[in-house]
Amino acid sequence: MPTGAIDLHTHSSVSDGTETPAELVHAALAAGLGTVALTDHDSTAGWDEAEAATSGTGLLVVPGMELSTNHGPASVHMLAYLFDPTDDDIIRETARIRDGRLHRAERIVDRIAEDYPLTWHDVLEQSVDGGTIGRPHIADALVARGHVADRSAAFASILHWRSGYYEKYYAPSPLAGVELIVGAGGAPVLAHPGTRGREWVIDEKNIARLKDAGLFGLEIHHRDNTASGKARLFELAEKFDLAVTGSSDYHGTGKPNRLAENTTAPEVLELLLATATGHAPFSG
Ligand code: AMP
Ligand code: FE
Ligand code: FE
Ligand code: ZN
């Protein structure tokens, strides 16, 4: 295992990051990381490019994904590490989520277009072919049109879930998500489970069920988790013997989050590598 900081949550242009997977690998090196996980939303399409870029760098790259799940009305993100990307159920379910995201984004754009000049073509220009479409790409299109200053401003206004333009998209339950990841040999970690207003979305009974199904850990060190959310999560990690991870959730220039602003302990990485059997990490 390389020395250097461990950052287990980043996005490339395969989803809503602004750097290609290869550029992301080089950004991780430049930031002095020893280990970085690539966790694009609902897609493994960046893995091959990341693997090729890792060669000769000395970096350890953990292939992963941030799986969308829905818990009632709430969207719950589930990080997935070192699973088999050729698993039939993974392929089928992530394709279904990406397709739902695409049509949902088209409907959001249709509604926005009633009030602001904006076309679906604008959004496609902000995304890569076959990538995972989300509100960040609509945000970039709104910025390009001059309707808002940046992504954050877009999310605070036109793309806010209470704006009237918003709608949800299909995703499996968190329990089905954990089963899917574990079934493909991977390790699931609840992403930023203590964000403002969401500290209690996954209650103790749900955590117990997810743990029974194979949940590996909780992403506690993350800028979006509140202080009280973190305190509660540490108690739950202790009670249910869950690993504690930390990460940046880097999106390139798409978010203020910087690589290695939060990190994971080496013992946790070792346990992760020993637990997940669906795919090997990429080591340069
Ligand atoms: P969606 O999954 O399409 O509903 O969009 C949610 C995504 O938008 C998340 O993955 C976040 O990374 C991103 N996001 C949420 N809030 C912001 C923000 N204020 N600035 C930039 N990106 C954001
Ligand atoms: Fe994102
Ligand atoms: Fe997330
Ligand atoms: Zn993320």
Amino acid at 52: A
Residue 214 located in a structural domain: yes
Q: Does a structural domain hold residue 16?
A: yes
Whether residue 58 is predicted with pLDDT greater than 90 in this model: the reply is yes
In a domain, 135, yes or no: no
CATH code of residue 72: 3.20.20.140
Is residue 198 within 6 Å of ligand 1 at its C-beta? no
Would you say residue 243 has pLDDT above 90?
yes
Percent of the chain with pLDDT over 70: 100
User: What's residue 2's pLDDT?
Assistant: 82
Please give the residue range of the domain that contains residue 177. 5-93+170-283
Residue range 31-58: mean pLDDT, rounded: 98
Residue 1 has pLDDT above 90, yes or no: no
Tell me, yes or no, whether 32 lies in a domain.
yes
- Residue 72 has a pLDDT of 94
Specify the 3-state DSSP secondary structure of 25: helix
**Any domain includes 19:** yes
Please tell me if the CB atom of residue 42 comes closer than 6 angstroms to any atom of ligand 1.
Answer: no
- pLDDT tens-place string over residues 102-143: 999 999 999 999 999 999 999 999 999 999 999 999 999 999
Answer whether 165 contacts ligand 1 (Cβ < 6 A). no
pLDDT tier, 208 (very low <50, low <70, confident <90, very high otherwise): very high
Mean pLDDT on 154-166: 97
User: Tokens in use for 250?
Assistant: 């880097």
Contacts of 51 (CB under 8 A, 6+ apart): 61, 63, 282
Work out how many domains the chain is built from and give that number: 1
Domain-embedded: residue 151: no
Q: What is the pLDDT of residue 39?
A: 99
Classify residue 243 by its DSSP letter: E
Which ligand minimizes its atom distance to the CA of 171? 1
Q: Does residue 255 have its Cβ closer than 6 Å to ligand 1? A: yes
> What is the structure's pLDDT at 284?
87
**Mean pLDDT for all residues in the chain:** 97
Confidence of residue 279 (pLDDT cuts 50, 70, 90): very high
Q: Residue 200: what pLDDT? A: 87
> Which residues have beta carbons under 5 A from ligand 3 (an ion)?
77, 191
Cα separation, 178 vs 175, in Å, equals 5
| Residue 283: pLDDT band with limits 50, 70, 90 | very high
Whole-number pLDDT of residue 267: 98
pLDDT, position 199? 85
User: Which residues are in the CB-under-5-Å shell of ion ligand 2?
Assistant: 16
141 falls within a domain: no
Burial 114-152 (b: 16+ CB within 10 A, else e): eeeebeeebbeebbbeebbbbbbbbbbbbbeeebbebbe
Cα–Cα distance measured from residue 132 to residue 135, given in angstroms and rounded to the nearest whole number: 10
pLDDT score for 129? 92
CA 108 – CA 86 distance, rounded (Å): 31
Residue 179 has pLDDT above 90, yes or no: yes
Spatial contact of 62 and 34, defined as CB atoms under 8 Å apart: no
137 close to ligand 1 (CB < 6 Angstrom):
no
pLDDT attached to residue 278? 98
What's the rounded Cα separation, in Å, for the pair 112 and 262? 36
pLDDT at 64 over 90: yes
Report yes or no on 140 lying in a domain: no
Give, to the nearest 10 degrees, the angle between helix 47-54 and helix 21-30: 40
Contacts by residues 123-127 (CB-CB < 8 Å, ≥ 24 positions apart):
none
